[in-house]
Amino acid sequence: MKPIIFRDDATLELLAGVSHYEDSRKGWGERFRDSVNSLTDLISSFPKIGARISKSGGREFVMTDFPYTVVYLEHDNTIEIIAVAHARRRRGYWKSRLKG
């Protein structure tokens, strides 16, 4: 297993999603957070599980229970979460994050 590191942008996206779902329906914010955590645990154990999306090694995993995609980079010793992207947001807005 590789440790997971969230970029600041990805953390803000995660927190915004938690807040949105909690405001919509009590308990759903926690459910969303748990779903993202379960997915990052899976990615930590199986880094190649996500679909490859760029030559830079970026990968994405589409969540099944929420309209979000987790975008990440695998490094030698860590997994860096680049984005927790809502499906209705402009596709690929996070691509510049893959460069640094």
- Give residue 100's pLDDT: 58
Domain spans of the chain?
Answer: 4-88
- Give residue 92's pLDDT: 83
- Give residue 49's pLDDT: 96
d(CA 6, CA 25): 26
The architecture (CATH level 2) of 4-88 comes to 2-Layer Sandwich (3.30)
Q: What is the pLDDT of residues 15-68, one digit of tens each?
A: 999 999 999 999 999 999 999 999 999 999 999 999 999 777 899 999 999 999
Q: Which residue has the tokens 């995660």?
A: 14
Tell me if the pTM is above 0.85: yes
Q: For the purposes of burial, counting CB atoms within 10 Å of the CB of 88, is it exposed (0-12), middle (13-18) or buried (19 or more)?
A: exposed
